[in-house]
Structure 1
Amino acid sequence: MRFDSRKSHRVRMDHKQPVNLMGADGTWRRTCVLLDVSDTGAKIEVEGTLDVLQAREFFMLLSSTGLAYRRCELVWIDGTMAGIHFIRPGTRKGPAKAKNELATQKTRGR
Protein backbone atom coordinates (compact mmCIF):
# COMPACT_ATOMS: atom_id res chain seq x y z
CA MET A 1 0.00 0.00 0.00
CA ARG A 2 1.45 3.34 -1.01
CA PHE A 3 1.25 5.76 1.86
CA ASP A 4 1.30 8.89 -0.31
CA SER A 5 -1.46 7.93 -2.78
CA ARG A 6 -4.37 9.11 -0.60
CA LYS A 7 -6.63 12.07 -1.32
CA SER A 8 -6.05 13.62 2.12
CA HIS A 9 -2.55 14.16 3.47
CA ARG A 10 -1.84 11.63 6.22
CA VAL A 11 0.47 12.14 9.15
CA ARG A 12 2.25 9.03 10.40
CA MET A 13 2.87 8.90 14.15
CA ASP A 14 6.52 8.42 15.16
CA HIS A 15 5.58 7.62 18.76
CA LYS A 16 2.66 5.66 20.17
CA GLN A 17 -0.34 7.95 20.50
CA PRO A 18 -2.86 6.26 22.82
CA VAL A 19 -6.54 6.95 22.13
CA ASN A 20 -9.78 5.21 23.12
CA LEU A 21 -12.75 4.07 21.11
CA MET A 22 -16.17 4.24 22.73
CA GLY A 23 -19.50 2.95 21.47
CA ALA A 24 -22.02 5.58 20.38
CA ASP A 25 -24.27 4.39 23.21
CA GLY A 26 -21.40 4.38 25.74
CA THR A 27 -21.67 0.65 26.51
CA TRP A 28 -18.15 -0.33 25.43
CA ARG A 29 -14.65 1.11 25.31
CA ARG A 30 -11.39 -0.09 23.70
CA THR A 31 -7.83 1.18 24.08
CA CYS A 32 -5.96 1.64 20.83
CA VAL A 33 -2.93 3.29 19.26
CA LEU A 34 -3.22 5.94 16.55
CA LEU A 35 -0.89 4.93 13.70
CA ASP A 36 -1.68 7.66 11.19
CA VAL A 37 -4.32 10.36 10.79
CA SER A 38 -5.69 12.73 8.16
CA ASP A 39 -8.53 15.21 7.86
CA THR A 40 -10.92 12.46 6.84
CA GLY A 41 -9.84 9.37 8.79
CA ALA A 42 -7.22 7.36 10.62
CA LYS A 43 -5.52 4.00 10.92
CA ILE A 44 -5.50 2.47 14.39
CA GLU A 45 -4.26 -0.64 16.16
CA VAL A 46 -6.87 -1.92 18.59
CA GLU A 47 -6.10 -3.72 21.85
CA GLY A 48 -8.59 -6.43 22.75
CA THR A 49 -11.40 -7.88 20.69
CA LEU A 50 -12.62 -6.13 17.57
CA ASP A 51 -16.15 -7.56 17.66
CA VAL A 52 -17.53 -4.32 19.12
CA LEU A 53 -16.42 -2.43 15.99
CA GLN A 54 -19.09 -4.29 14.05
CA ALA A 55 -21.46 -1.61 15.38
CA ARG A 56 -19.86 0.45 12.57
CA GLU A 57 -20.31 3.81 14.34
CA PHE A 58 -18.43 4.94 17.45
CA PHE A 59 -16.36 7.75 18.96
CA MET A 60 -12.58 8.09 19.02
CA LEU A 61 -11.67 9.85 22.27
CA LEU A 62 -8.52 11.93 21.82
CA SER A 63 -8.23 13.07 25.43
CA SER A 64 -8.43 11.19 28.71
CA THR A 65 -11.44 13.27 29.79
CA GLY A 66 -13.31 12.70 26.53
CA LEU A 67 -13.58 16.40 25.75
CA ALA A 68 -11.72 16.02 22.44
CA TYR A 69 -13.30 13.37 20.22
CA ARG A 70 -14.26 12.47 16.66
CA ARG A 71 -17.37 10.61 15.54
CA CYS A 72 -16.25 7.70 13.37
CA GLU A 73 -17.38 4.80 11.25
CA LEU A 74 -15.51 1.61 10.47
CA VAL A 75 -14.07 1.26 6.95
CA TRP A 76 -11.93 -1.88 7.20
CA ILE A 77 -10.39 -4.37 9.64
CA ASP A 78 -7.22 -6.41 9.11
CA GLY A 79 -6.12 -8.37 12.18
CA THR A 80 -5.64 -5.82 14.97
CA MET A 81 -5.52 -2.88 12.53
CA ALA A 82 -8.57 -0.89 11.50
CA GLY A 83 -9.28 1.99 9.17
CA ILE A 84 -11.83 4.55 10.29
CA HIS A 85 -13.55 7.47 8.59
CA PHE A 86 -14.44 10.63 10.49
CA ILE A 87 -18.11 11.58 10.21
CA ARG A 88 -18.60 15.32 9.83
CA PRO A 89 -21.88 17.01 10.78
CA GLY A 90 -24.19 17.23 7.80
CA THR A 91 -22.31 14.74 5.60
CA ARG A 92 -24.45 11.66 6.28
CA LYS A 93 -27.99 11.30 5.03
CA GLY A 94 -29.96 9.76 7.84
CA PRO A 95 -33.70 9.10 7.55
CA ALA A 96 -34.69 12.49 9.00
CA LYS A 97 -32.41 14.45 6.67
CA ALA A 98 -33.58 12.51 3.60
CA LYS A 99 -37.22 13.15 4.61
CA ASN A 100 -36.56 16.92 4.95
CA GLU A 101 -34.90 17.04 1.53
CA LEU A 102 -37.88 15.27 -0.03
CA ALA A 103 -40.30 17.74 1.61
CA THR A 104 -38.23 20.68 0.32
CA GLN A 105 -38.26 19.27 -3.21
CA LYS A 106 -42.07 18.84 -3.09
CA THR A 107 -42.67 22.45 -1.95
CA ARG A 108 -40.39 23.80 -4.69
CA GLY A 109 -42.40 21.87 -7.27
CA ARG A 110 -45.67 23.67 -6.36
Structure 2
Amino acid sequence: MAYGDRKSERIEFERGIDVYIMGIDGTWRRDGKLNDVSRTGARLTVNGSIQGLDLKEFFLLLSSTGLAYRRCRMVRLAGNQIGVEFLKPTTEKSRKAAIEKYHQKLEHR
Protein backbone atom coordinates (compact mmCIF):
# COMPACT_ATOMS: atom_id res chain seq x y z
CA MET A 1 0.00 0.00 0.00
CA ALA A 2 1.69 3.16 -1.15
CA TYR A 3 0.77 6.45 0.42
CA GLY A 4 2.98 8.72 -1.69
CA ASP A 5 5.73 11.06 -0.61
CA ARG A 6 6.72 11.00 3.04
CA LYS A 7 7.89 13.82 5.25
CA SER A 8 9.86 11.41 7.45
CA GLU A 9 11.75 8.22 6.68
CA ARG A 10 9.74 5.07 7.42
CA ILE A 11 10.99 1.91 9.08
CA GLU A 12 9.13 -1.21 7.92
CA PHE A 13 8.62 -4.34 9.99
CA GLU A 14 8.43 -7.50 7.89
CA ARG A 15 6.08 -9.37 10.24
CA GLY A 16 4.65 -6.39 12.09
CA ILE A 17 4.89 -5.66 15.79
CA ASP A 18 1.99 -6.49 18.11
CA VAL A 19 0.23 -3.34 19.33
CA TYR A 20 -3.16 -2.23 20.63
CA ILE A 21 -5.28 0.77 19.79
CA MET A 22 -7.49 2.13 22.54
CA GLY A 23 -10.06 4.89 22.77
CA ILE A 24 -9.02 8.01 24.67
CA ASP A 25 -11.71 7.27 27.25
CA GLY A 26 -10.69 3.61 27.56
CA THR A 27 -14.08 2.26 26.43
CA TRP A 28 -12.72 0.24 23.50
CA ARG A 29 -9.55 -1.55 22.47
CA ARG A 30 -8.42 -3.53 19.41
CA ASP A 31 -5.40 -5.73 18.75
CA GLY A 32 -3.25 -4.90 15.77
CA LYS A 33 0.13 -4.89 14.08
CA LEU A 34 2.51 -2.01 13.54
CA ASN A 35 3.60 -2.37 9.90
CA ASP A 36 5.78 0.70 9.59
CA VAL A 37 6.62 3.79 11.59
CA SER A 38 8.23 7.18 11.19
CA ARG A 39 8.81 10.15 13.42
CA THR A 40 5.38 11.56 12.48
CA GLY A 41 3.12 8.54 11.99
CA ALA A 42 2.60 4.85 11.34
CA ARG A 43 0.68 2.26 9.34
CA LEU A 44 -1.30 -0.30 11.33
CA THR A 45 -3.28 -3.43 10.58
CA VAL A 46 -6.27 -3.62 12.93
CA ASN A 47 -7.80 -6.93 14.02
CA GLY A 48 -11.58 -6.75 14.20
CA SER A 49 -13.98 -4.10 13.08
CA ILE A 50 -13.25 -0.40 13.49
CA GLN A 51 -16.75 0.56 12.43
CA GLY A 52 -18.31 2.95 14.94
CA LEU A 53 -15.04 3.68 16.76
CA ASP A 54 -13.93 7.28 17.29
CA LEU A 55 -10.61 7.39 15.44
CA LYS A 56 -10.25 11.18 15.52
CA GLU A 57 -8.07 10.67 18.58
CA PHE A 58 -6.95 7.45 20.24
CA PHE A 59 -3.94 5.76 21.83
CA LEU A 60 -1.51 3.44 20.07
CA LEU A 61 -0.30 1.20 22.91
CA LEU A 62 3.14 -0.26 22.26
CA SER A 63 3.19 -2.43 25.38
CA SER A 64 0.61 -4.63 27.06
CA THR A 65 0.76 -2.49 30.21
CA GLY A 66 0.05 0.74 28.35
CA LEU A 67 3.21 2.44 29.60
CA ALA A 68 4.64 2.97 26.09
CA TYR A 69 2.12 4.73 23.87
CA ARG A 70 1.50 7.49 21.34
CA ARG A 71 -1.58 9.63 20.94
CA CYS A 72 -2.85 9.36 17.33
CA ARG A 73 -5.51 10.23 14.83
CA MET A 74 -6.44 8.25 11.74
CA VAL A 75 -5.51 9.92 8.44
CA ARG A 76 -6.04 7.02 5.98
CA LEU A 77 -8.19 3.90 5.78
CA ALA A 78 -7.70 1.00 3.36
CA GLY A 79 -9.49 -2.20 4.35
CA ASN A 80 -8.15 -3.30 7.73
CA GLN A 81 -5.11 -1.00 7.51
CA ILE A 82 -5.06 2.54 8.83
CA GLY A 83 -2.53 5.31 8.51
CA VAL A 84 -2.12 7.33 11.69
CA GLU A 85 -0.54 10.65 12.51
CA PHE A 86 1.08 11.07 15.91
CA LEU A 87 -0.33 13.95 17.93
CA LYS A 88 1.77 16.05 20.26
CA PRO A 89 2.63 14.44 23.60
CA THR A 90 0.13 14.52 26.40
CA THR A 91 0.69 16.20 29.72
CA GLU A 92 1.78 14.11 32.69
CA LYS A 93 -1.69 14.50 34.25
CA SER A 94 -3.54 13.22 31.17
CA ARG A 95 -1.00 10.42 30.73
CA LYS A 96 -1.60 9.18 34.27
CA ALA A 97 -5.38 9.37 33.77
CA ALA A 98 -5.16 7.34 30.55
CA ILE A 99 -2.98 4.67 32.19
CA GLU A 100 -5.38 4.45 35.13
CA LYS A 101 -8.37 3.95 32.79
CA TYR A 102 -6.46 1.27 30.93
CA HIS A 103 -5.64 -0.63 34.13
CA GLN A 104 -9.25 -0.38 35.31
CA LYS A 105 -10.37 -1.84 31.98
CA LEU A 106 -7.94 -4.77 32.40
CA GLU A 107 -9.23 -5.48 35.92
CA HIS A 108 -12.80 -5.86 34.64
CA ARG A 109 -11.93 -8.54 32.06
| Shared fold per TM-score greater than 0.5 | yes
Q: Which residue in the other structure is 2:85 paired with?
A: 85
Asked if the contact 2:70/2:89 (under 8 Å) is kept, the reply is no
Asked if the contact 2:75/2:82 (under 8 Å) is kept, the reply is yes
Q: Distance in 1 between matches of 2:50 and 2:62?
A: 19
Q: Distance in 2 between matches of 1:2 and 1:74?
A: 14
Which structure has more RCO (C-alpha within 8 Å, separation ≥ 6)?
A: 2
Shift of 1:52: 4.3
- Give the fraction of aligned pairs with identical amino acids, expressed as a percent: 48
Shift of 1:61: 0.3
- Aligned residues, how many? 89
**TM-score for the superposition, normalised by structure 1:** 0.74
Q: Distance in 2 between matches of 1:17 and 1:68?
A: 13
Counterparts of 1:23-34 in structure 2 under 5 Å? Answer: 23-34=23-34
Q: Distance in 2 between matches of 1:52 and 1:58?
A: 13
Q: Indicate the structure (1 or 2) with the bigger Cα radius of gyration.
A: 1
Asked if the contact 1:59/1:71 (under 8 Å) is kept, the reply is yes
Shift of 1:78: 0.8
Asked if the contact 1:28/1:52 (under 8 Å) is kept, the reply is no
Shift of 1:53: 4.0
- Structure 1 gaps of 5+ residues are 91-110
Q: What letter matches 1:8 in structure 2? A: S
Q: Distance in 2 between matches of 1:88 and 1:28?
A: 22
**TM-score for the superposition, normalised by structure 2:** 0.75
